[in-house]
Structure 1
């Protein structure tokens, strides 16, 4: 099969590596891709928001199957456009992608179908929202309803902080994404990520992970898209995984089907493991980044074959198998991230890091300037290691990170701390 992969980040490099390894893959094109995805096929420099351009590329390259990496094209209806053009694609329809595209949509679904989640209220009026905040007290969580590139959630420690978040979001700081806010109770527990592959009617678990959102060691500093991750998540025991499938994933699939918008693709449940059991924080409708960089290297099952089965509605024939090894990834980001960053700084030593046993350096925000690798974004590299334990994977990943010479970058030095404490 000729495959088109849409996206340009570390998740897409991890997907490109896994897809190219499939016996089903004849040729892989990634649009727009990055220097990492180019190692596994060819890149096509098109605007993936232009659905007509994507369809034209599929026809020109005789593409048999499209895999969509990031959320924005899914929420914008790329799968619907491809399907209408007779092109097979993996991912949810625009209607089903509302599970990520609208936090209010997901909260209402959870309420309707009895899915455990935080108590909430929705607002488009700032005065009413602030009255609710004062009534509920802090800590409290304020979320922009729409996609906000990781900037739409404020966990407010004080009423004043929550009111400021309401004022900013409803005042237009996030554009259309903040036209409505969802205000939630602040759940207490340990966060974890649970992934499920879905075909509209069936779901199979697709691994667990925990990531580190804050920019600096000790979970300090601003929230980011993720500074590192590890898999599996020790907090999600087999019994808890079964509970998540039973109380969260399956009711979601049933509810979406009942509403006439069946969900096909990867359902990524952000969870809080509370004293009352697992509760849904939010859904994403694709693999996480950097979670993909630790889940895909652990998969023994052919991911492309599993995606094709999901798209064809025959996921009940698929069984996912895993390596016994753990994986840990450390994100190297440009100084200043998640704020403004300078592009173009030179990166050396990636080949040396990649040569190490069971280490892969995934490209996220990189570019080539002639033969030289340079930074081209906020999160730039994800250095992933596999080992029998998370502690060993942690040591191996950091050894590889230290082999990379990039003075303009920074990274956290404590990725995997919680997991190592669990195992200790």
Structure 2
């Protein structure tokens, strides 16, 4: 069968890589893809936001299954357009994408269906929001309501930071903010293949959101990640499925917008149990880059099973995968384009391209997060050593990375 992956980043590189390993797949296309994917897929010059162009390509090539990567494509209604054209596609409808596209929608949904999450309030005006923050005190979490590509969240430890985040948020016309209580605990990601109330859970990963070592600096789309996570036991996963993932899937059905696709729970293990930090309507990035290389079950067979609402027991490589993101120097404030990258051909572990391009035969930067190196090992320590040995081979004046991905969890053993 022919598979089309929509998107161009590291997540889509990992999805295309997983699809290419399926015994059912004869050809993988990625629209628009990037230069790093050319060995496993055919890149198609159609923007991931050109819905009509994507539908036309899928019809022309007689694509059997399309898998959506980015949230921007989902929020434009690409799934609805494909379904109207009679094309098979794995991803949530525009209505179901609200789970990520509107933090206020999701908080109201969780409140209505008693899903454990942080206490919150939503505001459309600076003065009311600022008064609420001053009353609640810090630490406190400020979230801009709409799609922010994994950013737009400030964990404010000082009142100055909180009010500055509100200034930035309300500088945008008609912006809303969700203000949440600060949760303490152990953060982790639980993703499921989903279709209605049928959920097939994946292995746990832990993303590192802050830009710099020791969890310093601003929130990003993710600077590194590893899987599995020993601290999150099977019992905790089962509890999370029963108290959070299934109730949210059922709530979406009851609200008339059933969810199909990669259901992503960003979660916190607190003293009171597991609580929701956020939901995403697509595969996490960088979680995809460490979870999918561990999946031993046929990726396409799993998607087909869940779309037919069949349960399936997944098989996983017991080894640990650890990924380190190489990002543009000023990320997340800005990105670098055109800086030369050398040494990628020396990397021995997996290398996924997140924001790269090619010019005059040289690899160059073309985004905020540029590359992710993913190493495998029998232990977290071994995966760490292998990954960083490869990271150090990559040379560019315009890239930086965290040195401590997974370190805190090694120290806690």
* TM-score after normalising by structure 1: 0.94
Alignment of 1:158-197 (within 5 A): 158-172=158-172, 179-197=175-193
List structure 1 segments (4+ residues) > 4 angstroms apart after TM superposition: none
SS at match of 2:30: strand
Cα gap change, 1:108 to 1:235, in 2 (>3 Å): same
Report how many residues are paired. 413
Can you list the C-alpha shifts for 1:149-195, whole angstroms capped at 9, x where unaligned? 233111112334323322321231xx56xx21111111111111111
Match of 1:211 among 203, 207, 212: 207
Tell me how far 1:40 sits from its aligned partner: 0.8
Tell me how far 1:335 sits from its aligned partner: 1.6
Between the aligned partners of 1:278 and 1:111, the Cα distance in structure 2 is: 15
Alignment of 1:2-401 (within 5 A): 2-172=2-172, 179-311=175-307, 313-316=308-311, 318-353=312-347, 356=348, 359-401=349-391
Tell me how far 1:101 sits from its aligned partner: 0.5
Tell me how far 1:58 sits from its aligned partner: 0.8
Between the aligned partners of 1:92 and 1:27, the Cα distance in structure 2 is: 24
SS at match of 2:340: coil
Say whether the 8 Å CA contact 1:328–1:394 is kept in structure 2: yes
Can you list the C-alpha shifts for 1:336-359, whole angstroms capped at 9, x where unaligned? 222223322222221211xx3xx1
SS at match of 1:344: strand
Say whether the 8 Å CA contact 2:28–2:40 is kept in structure 1: yes
Between the aligned partners of 2:207 and 2:23, the Cα distance in structure 1 is: 31
SS at match of 1:81: helix
SS at match of 2:286: coil
Kindly indicate whether residue 389 of structure 2 is the aligned counterpart of residue 407 of structure 1. no
CA RMSD of aligned residues (A): 1.4
Structure 1 gaps, min length 5: none
Say whether the 8 Å CA contact 1:2–1:64 is kept in structure 2: yes
* TM-score after normalising by structure 2: 0.97
SS at match of 1:315: coil
Structure 2 gaps, min length 5: none
Say whether the 8 Å CA contact 1:118–1:187 is kept in structure 2: yes
Cα gap change, 1:6 to 1:270, in 2 (>3 Å): same
